[in-house]
Structure 1
Amino acid sequence: MILRRWSSRIRTADEAGYVRYIEATGLRDYRATAGNLGCQMLLRRVADGVTEVTTLSWWESLEAVAAFAGTPIDLARYYPEDDEFLLEKPQSVEHHRVAASDMRL
């Protein structure tokens, strides 16, 4: 199993709108890709008026990640409206091989 992790920052005032936007774009596209095992979006207030956003997605294989992300898979995938929300646009994402897991949601 592969974990794909992406993070950036938004204005705290934009949290609700950004969550709706990501649910309708990135998270929807994760779920629609064969080999996706699930996804989550995390928010963490890091400074006055700034929130860190992290998306986590789980995949059956690196090939499944490539079906979503294209190649090279380490490049972040962005949508047109991201510029309205993001304070920074990191160029890359992280991929981790899941060695052990026990999630109970």
Structure 2
Amino acid sequence: MIIREWRGRALRDKAGEYPTHFRKTVVPELRKVPGFLGATLSRREEGDRIEFLVLSGWESMEAIRAFAGDNLDKAVVEPGAVAALSDYDQTVRHYEVVADIDNAPETA
């Protein structure tokens, strides 16, 4: 599995707009892409802004290419996200998952 990491930042008074956009627009579009495995949206306070972290899971770099195009490191940022954020990363990072731990009890 490949994790795709991207970050964007919003002013506090607009901090609710990006999560709404993410749930209503981004997630339905991602679910249409073969090889998309899921995503998390996290937030943290950073001075007068809120930083959002999106981690999406993919079966392969080929699946990411189907979503992002040939320039795999370029962020895909929709107009709704641009309107909700004060700034955002223009590039993404990819990580190969080497361990995936859940909290389920181990079986013998």
Give the structure-1-normalised TM-score: 0.89
Percent identity of paired positions between Structure 1 and Structure 2: 33
Post-superposition offset of 1:104: 4.4
Question: Where does residue 16 of structure 2 map in the other structure?
Answer: 16
Question: Where does residue 55 of structure 2 map in the other structure?
Answer: 56
Letter in 1 for 2:46: V
Unaligned runs of 5+ in 1: none
Distance in 2 between the 1:60 and 1:84 partners? 30
Tell me whether 1:41 sits opposite 2:41 in the alignment: yes
Which contiguous aligned blocks of 4+ residues in structure 1 show a shift greater than 3 angstroms?
none
Give the structure-2-normalised TM-score: 0.87
**Mapping for residues 1-105 of structure 1, pairs under 5 Å:** 1-48=1-48, 50-104=49-103
Q: Which has the larger radius of gyration?
A: 2
CA RMSD of aligned residues (A): 1.6
Unaligned runs of 5+ in 2: none
Distance in 2 between the 1:53 and 1:8 partners? 5
Distance in 1 between the 2:33 and 2:14 partners? 27
What is the aligned length?
104
